[in-house]
Amino acid sequence: MEPLEIHFLEMPRSLSEAVEAKIRERVDRLSHFSGEIQKCQVWIESPHRHHRKGRLYGVRIRLTVPGEEIAIETQPTEDDVYVSIRDAFDAARRKLEDHERRRRGEVKAHPRARGDRTRRRQIAPRFERS
């Protein structure tokens, strides 16, 4: 799977090499779930310092697969960049697994009752209830 693009936004350069290695490792793991990933873009951002929580990290991932683009965006809530990366890539894995199930036609179709037009329960308006 190539190409992989990694972008660092408002982050200290001292972390970038180790973080890039971790991202490459996680992208390799994603390729086990789908061999059809055409492109992967990852953004790591630390928008600003928070007075009480320190530096928080957010991660955005965009995976391009045939016929679909899978996007994940985590808000900056973690002060550990590796935890943020793990959470974002776990979400990406779940979305990629869902995509593969739909592609293979393994999505479960729930049968509907005869004459049922919607899945919602039909409740009579208030003035008709007694």
pLDDT, tens digit, 9 for 90 and up, residues 30-60: 888 887 888 999 998 876 665 555 678 889 9
Computed on alpha carbons and rounded to an integer, the radius of gyration of the chain in Å comes to 21
Say which CATH class 4-109 falls into. Answer: alpha beta
Grouping H, G, I as helix, E, B as strand and the rest as coil, residue 42 is strand
pLDDT, tens digit, 9 for 90 and up, residues 80-117: 888 889 999 999 999 998 888 888 877 666 666 665 55
Distance CA 85, CA 26 (A): 9
Domain ranges of the chain: 4-109
For residue 31, which phi and psi values (nearest 5 degrees)?
-65, -15
